[in-house]
Structure 1
Amino acid sequence: MSMQNKPKMVEAVLFISEHGVCKEMLFPEFEALLDGIVNMPEFADQQMRAVYVLINPRLMIRAAVFFYLDFDEKGGPDRGWNIPLRHLAERSGRGPDMGAGPIRLACRSQCPVSWHQMHLWDPNLTPGQNDLVLLRDAVKRNQLGLLVEDESAPQTVAAERLQVVQEDKWFAPNPAKDDAVKVAAKLDQEHRLKTAQLIKQQRLRLSTLAQQHNEELAKFRLASDEQGSLQLAEIQALQQALQQQAELNANLKIQLSAQAETFQSGRQEMSQQLRALERHSQAEADILRGQFDAELQARIAAAVAGYKEQVAIRDVELAYRNEMDNQLQLEVGRLRRERDEFASQGGDQILERLAKLGMVFVVYHPGAGHLTIPLQDIARYQDNPLAYAAAKCFVSETQYSQWLAHYQQPNCGGTLPSGERCGMSIERIDAPSRFVTGDSNCCAGHKVNSRLRTVG
C-alpha cells in the first residue's frame, strides 16, 4: 500500500428513516448538497434525521452528531441551516463504546452548545431498535467504499522507538505468575470500562426518556389550559346573555305592571262615573258608556302606536348600527391589506434579501434559550414575542409571563398575616413547563398552607 492510499479518518453523513439508514454520503458530498449544487427529491418537503460520523481506518465510529435537516418541496436543504458539525463533534462528551473505545457523542440531551440543542435529536437506545447499532452495521458494510486498514498486516515499530530493558529485568523470577496478574488486571480493567460504558448508556437513555416525557406533559398541559380557557369564556358569555335576558324580563314585567295599574285605575274611575250617571238617566248612561269604550279604545290604540313607534325606532337604530359595523369591518380589512402591502414592500423584502444571503434571525428568551426564527414567523414574533416564546416552551402565554416574573426575581409571592408580601428567596424553576402558580413561587410555609387550603 502506497503512502497516497494509506487509510485515514473519514467524515460522512448518514440519513435515517423509519426503516433504517436510507442514504450515505461523504462530507464533501454533504457540503455540495448544502451549497445547492445537488438536490434530494426523495426527501422533498420532509424533516430528515441525519448523523455526522467520524470513521477510523478500521471502519469504526469515533464521533457522532445527531441533527435534523429540513428539505423544501423541491428536495433542496434549508438555506438557514448552519450547525457546526465538526465543532460539536470535537466539543461533545463521551458516549458508548462502539468497538474502538468511547465515542464523542452530541445529541439533544448532550449538547455542548445550548442554542443548537433544539436542532439535535436523541438516538433510540431500545434493544432491537438501537440507532447506534444501525449506524455501526451500516459503516461496517462500507457502501461508501472507504480504504480499510489491513488488521492482519504486521505492525512495524520504528527503530528509534525500540528500547532495551535493563539487564536485571531480563529474567523474571516467575513469568507465569506475572502473566496471570497482567491478564487478571486487563480483564478487571475491561470489566470496569464495560460497566462504566453501560452506566453511561443507561443514563443517556434515562435522560432522553425524561426529556420526551416532559415535552409530552408540557403539550398536554398546554392543550388542557387552552380547552379550559375556551370553556371558561363560553360559560362567561352564557352567563352574560342570561343576565341580560333576566334584566330584559324584569323591565318588561315592570312595564306590564305599570300598564295594568293604569288600566285598572282608569277602569275604576270610569265605573264610578258610570254608576253616577246611571242614577240620573239611562240615556246618559248609554252615552257615557259609549264615550268610555271609545276613550278606552283610543288609549289602547295610542299605547299600541307608541310601542310600535318605539319598536320601529329600535329597528332603525339596529339597522344603522349593523351598517356601521359592516363599514367598520370593511375599513379594518382595507387597513389590514394596506398594512400587509406596506409591510411586504418594506421590511419583508429586506428580511428576505438578508435570509437569501445566509443570515439567521436568532433571539434569546429565558426558558426557551436561543430561538432561530424562520422568515415566515418574523411577523408573528413581532406581534407577540412572549406568545411565540411560550409556544416554543409548550406553555400558555399567561403561565410563561408568571414564570418569567418568578425567574427574574425568585421570591415567595405569599402574603403574611400583616398583609405584606413574604418575599423570601426560593429555588428558581428553570423550565416554564415545570412552573405551577401558587406552588413553584411560594416558600415552604406558604406552599404547605396553599396545599392545606386546597385539601380542606
Structure 2
Amino acid sequence: MGSLKSDTSVAVFFMEGNTVSRQMLFSEFEAILDGYVGLSDMADKEAKAVYVVVNGQLQVEALVFFLIYFDDEGRADPEWNIPIERLASISGGGPDMGGGAIRLSCRSQCSINWHQKELWDPDMTPGSSHFAAIKKAVEKNRLGFKSVSVEENVPTLQPFEADLIPTITTKVDSEADDTEHRLKLARLIKNQRLRIKTLESHRQAQKEEFQRQNTLQSQAYKTRIQNLELSVEKLKVINEQLQEKLFNRNQQFLGLQDKVSNQTTHLSDLEDKLKHAEVAEIEGLERQKLEAELVILKEQLDRRDIEAVYREEKQELLRAELEELKATTEQTERESMMAKLQELEVVFVAYHPGAGHVTVPFSDIYRYVESPLKYVASKCYVTEEVYKKWLDHQDNPVCCYKKGDGELCGASLKLISNPGDFEEGVSDHCSRHRVD
C-alpha cells in the first residue's frame, strides 16, 4: 500500500457476532503478529478481524475483512501473511459509510484470488450490519484517531451587470440532479449486488458446514447404533443365560427343600422311635446307634438350613441382576429410537420474541432444552443477559433507572424491536439517566 495521508489513521477491529469486541491501532496489531504480545482470551480460536482506514474527518475510507488464527497460548499464527494494506488500496467499491463509497475487500470481493478463502463476508442486514457497528466504533473514537476540521473555501463572486452575462436556465440544474440521481441509483444497485454476493457466500459456507457436520453426525450415529445393536444382542444372550441359570437354581432349591422335608420327617420318626423303644433296646447298642444317627441327621439338617439361606441370597442377587439388565435393555432401546429420529432429520420449531419462529435441529435439542433463552439469544447475536433485559424492555418500555429512594424512574421509552439494537444502560434508560 502506498504511503498514507498525514491525516489518515489505521486500526484493526475484532468482531464478536455483529459487534466490535476489541479495537487496536495497527502498530499494536503488528506487535501481535511479531509475537511480542498475545491475546489469552483468543486462545485456540480463529478470529474475525477488520482492517480499518479512517480519514481526518473520522470517516471510513477502506475496510478489509480478514481471518486470523491464535494458538493455544493466544499467539498469532506465525505463517499469517495476508497483504491487508495492499488489499485495502486496490479493492473494489463498497457501501457509503458517510464519506462516499469506501474501498471494500472481503471473500465475495477480493482483488487477489488466492487470498479469498482467508477473508470473510460481513453481514449487511439492516439494523445489525457489521458496517453499522464499525461506523459507530469509529465515531466514538476510543483509539484517538487524528481529526482535522474541514474549512470550505467558497470563492467570492464580484458584482456583475446582468446584461453582460448570459442567463443560465434551469436545464443545467436539472441535468445535474439527474446525474446525481443516476449516481445514487448506481451506487445503490452496486451495494445490493454486493449484499447478494455476501449472502450467497454466507449461504454456501453454512451449507458446506451443515453438510460436513451432518456427515460427521451421521457417521457417529451409525457407529453408535451398531454398537447399541451389538450391546442389545449381547444383553439378550446374557438375559437368556441368566433366565436359564435362575430356573436351574429354582429347581435345585425345590429339590433341597424336598430333601430337608424328608430329613425332618426321618428325624421325627427316629425321635418317636427313641421315645417308644423298650428299656432293653434303649440300654443296648441300638440306643447308641440311634443317638449317633440322630446327631448326624441334626448336623445334616443344619447344613441344609445354611444351604437354603445361601440359595435364597443367591436367588435375590440373580433377580436384582436380571432387573438391572432389563432396565439397561430398555434404556438402550430408547437411545436407539432417538438415533433413528436423528436419521429422519426431525426438527423442532419454537417461537420466541425477537427471533420469531426458531428452527431447532435435532443436534441442538439438548442445548435448547437446557437453556432456551441462551439458545435464542445466540440466534439474535446477543448474550443471554442482554436478551433478558430486552424482554423486560419489550414487556414494559420504561426507564429502569432506580432513584435514591429505590423507586424506578418509569419514564416512557421508544420500543426497541430488535434485540441486536438493544444497548443496556442506553435503550432502557431515558435521556436524563442514560449511561454514556
**If the length of structure 1 is used for normalisation, what is the TM-score?**
0.43
**If the length of structure 2 is used for normalisation, what is the TM-score?**
0.45
